[in-house]
Each structure stands twice: as C-alpha cells, then as structure tokens.
Amino acid sequence: MIECTHVYKKYKNGVNALYDINVKIDQGEFVYIIGPTGSGKSTFIKLLDGEEVPTKGTVKVVGIDVGKLRHSKVPVYRRNIGVVFQDFRLLPSKTVFENISYALEVINMDKDLIRRRVRAVMNLVGLEDRGSSFPGQLSGGQQQRVAIARAIANRPKVLIADEPTGNLDPGMSDEIMSLLEKINDAYGTTILMVTHDMAIVNKHTKRTIVLEHGHIVADLESGGYVRHDR
C-alpha cells in the first residue's frame, strides 16, 4: 500500500529532512508516526501526498510512484488519499454538506450519488443534523469530524491524519480516535496518523514509527508504551 525505499529529502535551503527511510505499510494498517518537532514527520507526509518530491529513493502509494508524477497528475492522484489536518482546513464559505460534497464534485461524481455519500459519511461521523451549518458555527471536535467525513467521502484507500487531535481537548481526542478506528475497521482504510499526543499512542496501542532527526529510530510493530519525551 505504502512503500518507501531509501528515501532521502534535502530541501533547497540545505535542510536535511529525511535520511534513508525504508517503510512498508500494508492495506488496512493503522500506524502512528511520532517524533519531536523537526524530526521529519511533516516532510514524510508531504512526500506521501505529492506536495514534495524525494531527493533520492522511491515513494510508492497505491502502486503509484509519487515522486515521478507530473504536476498535472497530482490532483488526480490525491483522490486516492484522504488527508485530515490539525487545523481542519474546511472551506469557511461553504456549509458542512458543501464541504463534504466538494471533494466528490471534484471527481465528477453523479449528483444523486454525492447526496447519498455525503449523508452516509455525515451519519458515520455523527453530524447528520448539521449539514447546513457553516464551519464557524461548529466546535473544534465537530469541525474535525467534518474534515474526516470529507477525507473519507470518496472511500480513499489511505487516510493521512496530520495531528488530528492537536487542537482538541482529551475528551474530544478520544472521540476522534474512536471515529478513526471505526473507519479503519469498517472500510479497511489504511490510516497514517502523525501525532504528538503520547496519551493517545499509549492508550490506543498500534504500530508506531518513531522519527528523530530524519531517521526512523524505532518501528514498534505492536505499539506499546512510548516515553512522553519522544
């Protein structure tokens, strides 16, 4: 599903973000990526969603060599992966319903199908009665659930969650975690979650990849207790 072989990334400004990354993540896995600020987590995500290209090595996602994609093909490639961000990134001038349906309009899905899909994911995330609200009228936890609904609406094979609980209080964070687990179970979506939140990592134990200074320093197959200073 995701396969990185000898991936290096050096930015134009001379910063070495990633060294010799080798990772293989299978269909249906739920993986945490943890590490301190500046450890290369964000770069890793950017390589996966096509925002950056590796300096060396290959990044393959759903069988596509992401580093070799032409610019014009990147938008179409992105339809294979759903992304959820710490700051939700919802369109402020669109309603909840429109925010979710936008991701489906983009792929020219049939209107009726869009309506059914959007209702289905709104049910899944528990926001069935907030369709006509604007993002500004929702709490942080609700906004993140809209973002997740949008990310999974077109049933992507991979869901990347970049600090999805970063702006939320612990109660909300647990809710979001259960939602992600539900999606992982129900659809078999591969989930990559970047997080700082050791409480979650230690509570909902899963495979955990630890990055430090651009290196993978640990890949804990079954997860487990990770020190809080990591």
Partner 1 sequence: MIGRLFRPIKEGFRGVVRHGSMSFSSASAVTITLVIISLFLIFTTNVSRFTQGLEQVVQISVLVDYDYEAAEEEDRISLEIGNIEGVSEVNFSSKEDEFQYYIDSFKDEKTKEAFEPFRESNPMHDAFYVEVKNGSELEEIASKIETVEGVYRVNFGGSSAVKMISALRTIRWAGGLLALALSILAVSLIQNTIKLTIQARADEIAIMRSVGAKNGFIRSPFLVEGILIGILGSVIPVAVIYFGYKYLYEMTGGYVISNMFELIPPIPYVYYVAGVILLIGIIVGFLGSFFSVSRYLRWKR
Given the rule CB under 8 A, which residues bind partner 1?
49-53, 71, 74-79, 83, 89-93, 102-103, 105-108, 111, 150
Q: Which of 56, 59, 128 is nearest to 96 (CA)?
A: 128
Question: What tokens does 68 get?
Answer: 């070799």
Name residue, tokens 């000898």.
Answer: 6
Rounded Cα distance, 230 and 226, in Å: 7
- Return the closest-CA partner of residue 59 out of 85, 87, 22, 84: 22
CB nearer to partner 1: give 63 or 92: 92
Q: Is the CB of 14 or the CB of 92 nearer to partner 1? A: 92
Least CB distance to partner 1 at residue 71 (A): 4
Least Å distance, CB 38 to partner 1, is 21
Cα–Cα distance measured from residue 170 to residue 160, given in angstroms and rounded to the nearest whole number: 20
Q: For partner 1, give the closer residue by CB, 57 or 223.
A: 57
CB of 151 to partner 1, least distance (A): 8
Closest separation between CB of residue 208 and partner 1, Å?
26
**Three-state DSSP class for residue 12:** coil
Smaller CB distance to partner 1: residue 107 or 217?
107
Alpha-carbon distances, residue 24 vs 1, 6, 59, 132, 205 (angstroms): 8, 11, 10, 41, 19
Query: Shortest gap between Cβ of 207 and partner 1 (angstroms)?
Result: 25
User: Which CB, 46 or 215, lies closer to partner 1?
Assistant: 46
